[in-house]
Amino acid sequence: MSSIPPRLLGSEEIRQYLGGISAATYAAWLNKGIVPGPVPGTNRYDVKAHDGALDRLAGLHGSSVLHGGSPLEEWEAGHGSAS
């Protein structure tokens, strides 16, 4: 068995990933735009898309950890420095 966690999950699995929320709660969050729906053309849900949506909701969207940039690059982006 692979030790690599899957990026795409089924409906029940993504709700478990999000803390064991109910189908009704997920549907409400989806309707409010809190979480994305399944990957187009599939019935699978992207873990990274859900992480990103919740990060933005929590105000974490500018973190260098989330975007892979260095602290210097993050500082430069926030201070209008040109490369």
Give the model confidence (pLDDT) of 18-71 as tens digits.
999 999 999 999 999 999 999 999 999 999 999 999 999 998 876 545 555 666
Q: Does a structural domain hold residue 2? A: no
Q: Is residue 32 part of a domain?
A: yes
**Which range marks the domain in which residue 60 is found?**
8-78
Q: pTM for this one?
A: 0.70
In a domain, residue 54? The reply is yes
Q: Number of folded domains in the chain?
A: 1
Distance CA 10, CA 42 (A): 10
Residue 74 lies in a domain: yes
List the beta strands (DSSP E) in 1-83. Answer: 8-9, 45-46
Question: Which residue reads 């990274």 in tokens?
Answer: 48
Residue 1 falls inside a structural domain: no
